[in-house]
Copies of this chain bind each other. A is one copy, B any other.
Amino acid sequence: MTPQEITVKMALQSWETQVSRAAKVFDSLNDEQLWQEIAPGRNRGVYLLGHLIAVNDTLFKIFGLGDRLHADWDEAFLRNPDKTGLDFPSTSILRQAWTEVHAKLSDHFQTLSAEAWFQRHQSMTDEDFAKDPARNKISVLLNRTAHTAYHLGQVALIKK
Contact = CB atoms under 8 A, between A and B. Distances in A.
Contacts of A17: 146
Contacts of A145: 142, 146
Interface string A6-19: 11011101100110
Given A6-B136, A38-B39, A133-B6, A11 B142 contact: yes
Interface bin, chain A: 35 or more
A10 B149 contact: no
Main SS of the interface on chain A? Answer: helix
A9 B151 CA distance: 25
A122 interface: no
Nearest to A132: B9
Given A39-B38, A146-B17, A10 B134 contact: yes
Interface of A: 1-4, 6-7, 9-11, 13-14, 17-18, 38-42, 118, 133-134, 136, 138-139, 142-143, 145-147, 149-154, 157, 159
19 contacts: A1-B134, A3-B3, A3-B7, A6-B136, A7-B138, A10-B134, A10-B136, A10-B139, A10-B142, A11-B142, A13-B139, A14-B143, A18-B146, A39-B40, A39-B157, A146-B149, A150-B153, A152-B153, A154-B157
